[in-house]
Amino acid sequence: MSATNEVITSGSYIKHHLQNLTYGQFPDGHWGLAHTVSEAKEMGFWAFHLDTLGVSFLLGALFLIFFYRVGKKMTVDTPSGVQNFIESVVDFINENVRGSFNGQNPMVAPLALTTFIWIVLMNTMDLVPVDWLPYVAQQIGVWFGADPHHVFFKVVPTTDPNATLGMSIGIFILIIYYSIKEKGVGGFAAELTFHPFGKMMLPFNLFLEGVNLIAKPVSLALRLFGNMYAGEMIFILIALLPFWVQWSLSLPWAIFHILIVLLQAFIFMTLVIVYMDMAHQKEH
């Protein structure tokens, strides 16, 4: 059902829930919100997914504010339950960094903590019933005079490849930066051209190492996106079933999906630590 209680088809329901609220430039030059999937495609690369940006930035801000407030009130004498929880999370991150990172860089642990918590929060939005926030967005759109059929809202930022690629590209830039900083331009270039088969196989080495380097951000982004997109799709398909069947399936899947939410964040964080360790290695 739509905001106007109009019955829609299953295909339209699925497409509506998987479409982003897109703002961009139309072919005629004016800027605005896309009303259809085809209009969103016409906006091209420089379109903005407002739902992905809004939800991810809001969750990131909540994470920073929450950790900051807990940090300001930390005490050794009478730690609260929240403080104990935060300290256990920080200890968990530090243990993983100590186990996988052999360099000396104080930024790696905060980077790992940020990626883990932020991705957990974004993934957790997948556990919100699929119709709640899109319905709220439709009601707000109607209040502003918009057609509810044209108000899209994709709740889970990590089901948008733009979000996962954005994070992965940021990590990739750090990998390149620290590879050059630790090894020098010559050392980094030699790593790409002289390994693994020596100087005589320079073109072949460059091809292999170049593919390996580019595969790091791509694999980070697509692994997270693929798992979360599939999970969201299953929730949407369950929502299409009769009401009495929905609860019998959605609750077990939600409980199982909690593991996916945490596991995907952990894998992303672990790979970030490993890639940063590789960027700091000077043995070769």
Distance of CA 23 to the CA centre of its chain: 20
- 227 as an active site residue: the answer is yes
Q: Please check whether residue 136 is in contact with residue 155, taking contact to mean a CB–CB distance below 8 angstroms.
A: no
Catalytic annotation present for 219:
yes
φ/ψ of residue 12, rounded to 5: -65, -40
The vertex-220 CA angle with 215 and 221, nearest 5°, equals 105
Pick the catalytic residue: 20, 123, 227, 250?
227
Give the C-alpha separation, 2 to 87, whole Å: 45
Q: Residue 57 and residue 223: Cα distance in Å, rounded?
A: 21
Has 80 been annotated as catalytic?
no
Sheet holding 31-33, edge to edge: 31-33, 22-25, 48-49
Q: Is 2 left (phi over 0), alpha (psi -120 to 50) or beta?
A: beta
162, 223, 248, 250: which one is catalytic?
223
Catalytic residue (one of 98, 219, 248, 250): 219
Give the pair of three-digit tokens for residue 106. 């104080």
By annotation, the residues acting in catalysis are: 219, 223, 227
